[in-house]
A and B are shown apart, each in its own frame.
Chain A
Amino acid sequence: MANAETNALVGLRKLLPKELFYNTDMDMLGAECEEIRIRAGRNVRFVLRGGEIAGSAVATPKLCRDVLEGLSEHSAPAIENELKEGFFTARGGCRVGVCGQMYTKNGLCERLWQISGFNIRIARQIKGCADKIIREIYSCGNAGGLLVLSIPGTGKTTLLRDTVRQLSDGGLSAAVADERGEIAACYMGAPTLDVGERTDIMDMCPKAEGIRKLVRSMSPRLIVTDEIGTREEADALLDAKNCGAIAIASAHASSVEDALRREHIRALIEGGCFTHAAIITRRADGARDIAIEKLTL
């Protein structure tokens, strides 16, 4: 699942403190790194395709502050609401999970401060990784929706991105409800990752609302979203399907059987929203396999 690969590590290095990468082989990281884990008081760890290495930098409170400042481009207050949710998207589409001390008021999360942990997921664009899907599902011209399944961190978003890119470049108008800004990685309104010539993006909008708005206003043939997780999102996707759009979405599950145990996914499949599932699995060496199953209930 790799050709024409680019990743956001090059851009990220400009934002992150230099000491994070001391004594680290950047060529190897550039090709292999999938996540950077920073935990207060511990060595920085680089999660690679086939393992993990520890960096020499120790995450002091100052380093954690510098990481936040760098990734937010000195604008942490502008992403305060995202921080409260536990993640934000850095330039280039890298999702950054954060944890620390949460200030609560009346039982509600008000503000995250004293941030002590980061999980920086390196966004990748692998052009061509969806070739198999395009060949086996969409080349016939009358296929329905696609559900991409895998456990977290296996490449669902990368596969979705390339699928929509290829279908959009192939002539279908597409709309992406990109709640976390990971699919298109919009910066100042423009996508920084290639999602195709005929793709409209509703960025950072709650998925259910984004899907409904896109169907109403942009008349897409394809509606694409990441990580369907709630009944409301599933209902919005079903509505989109009933309006004539083809749904392409992802969900956390290791198999179709697992996915069917989740009520809202089951409702989507029963409602005819998806005709095929693409299940991504990861080999021990970090390479991915994609299995395509026809969904019948």
Chain B
Amino acid sequence: MRTGLAAAALIICISMGYMACSRMRDRVDKLNALCAEIRTLGDSMELSQYRLSEMLDRLGGELWREYAAALTGEQLGAGEAWAATVQKEADGGSLSGLDKQDIAALITLGEAFSSISRAAQADHARLTLRQMEARAADAEKALMGKGKLYSTLGVLAGFAAALMMI
């Protein structure tokens, strides 16, 4: 009986450590993917004369599809629609797992969408990209340090709990 409980405690602690680590990895992956998409978007804004709907079509992901739907569905400005979409996706959608500062940085992309000149649009996109890249780099650094720590702590805590139970 005790051995069984100890094994269960061990498994729970290890998986809690790994879950914390995988949440961090998930955030890094999402930030990196967003950076790549914003880079593509910025290039389109600078080099092509696509309409916004065409640019969003080319990106394809869930966030961009939701944004395109918000633009056509409701009579919101491009910046307002972007902020609303990002908030919605952050609450259990494709952006869940990002922290508040990530979301705030991402919302600044709305400035690019509501610009009326191509130069200003591309500048705003670049600015957002820089912020997101910095956040992705920080998240990666945190994953390397804290991620390992969480997994190790999970294993150690698991063994400690198991030993105490036995």
Which residues of A are interface residues toward B (Cβ below 8 A)?
17-18, 65-66, 68-70, 73-78, 80, 83, 111, 113, 115
Contact = CB atoms under 8 A, between A and B. Distances in A.
Nearest to B46: A77
A78 B116 contact: no
Contact of B116 (A17, A70, A73, A113): A113
Interface residues on chain B, size class: 10 to 19
A118 B166 CA distance: 81
Nearest to A17: B75
Given A17-B75, A18-B75, A66-B77, A73 B52 contact: yes
Nearest to A75: B51
Contacts of B75: 17-18, 66, 70
B5 to A, nearest CB: 59
A85 to B, nearest CB: 15
A78 B50 contact: yes
A132 to B, nearest CB: 39
A83 to B, nearest CB: 7
Contacts of A74: 51-53, 71, 77-78, 113-114
B45 interface: yes
Contact of B114 (A69, A73, A80, A83): A69
A73 B55 CA distance: 12
Main secondary structure, interface of A, reads: helix
A77 B115 contact: yes
Given A66-B77, A76-B115, A77-B45, 20 more contacts: A17-B75, A65-B77, A69-B78, A73-B51, A73-B52, A74-B53, A74-B77, A74-B78, A74-B113, A74-B114, A75-B50, A75-B53, A76-B116, A76-B117, A77-B116, A77-B118, A77-B120, A80-B117, A83-B116, A113-B117
B121 interface: yes
Nearest to A65: B77
A73 B49 CA distance: 13
29 contacts: A17-B75, A65-B77, A66-B75, A69-B77, A69-B78, A69-B114, A70-B75, A73-B53, A74-B52, A74-B71, A74-B77, A74-B78, A74-B113, A75-B50, A75-B53, A76-B115, A76-B116, A76-B117, A77-B45, A77-B116, A77-B121, A78-B49, A78-B51, A78-B52, A78-B118, A80-B116, A80-B118, A83-B116, A113-B116
In the A-B complex, list the 10 residue pairs whose CB atoms are closest, starting with the nearest: A75-B51, A76-B116, A77-B118, A74-B78, A74-B52, A77-B121, A75-B52, A78-B49, A78-B51, A111-B117
B2 to A, nearest CB: 65
Contacts of A69: 77-78, 114
A68 B116 contact: yes
B72 to A, nearest CB: 9
Interface in B55-110: 71, 75, 77-78
B87 to A, nearest CB: 19
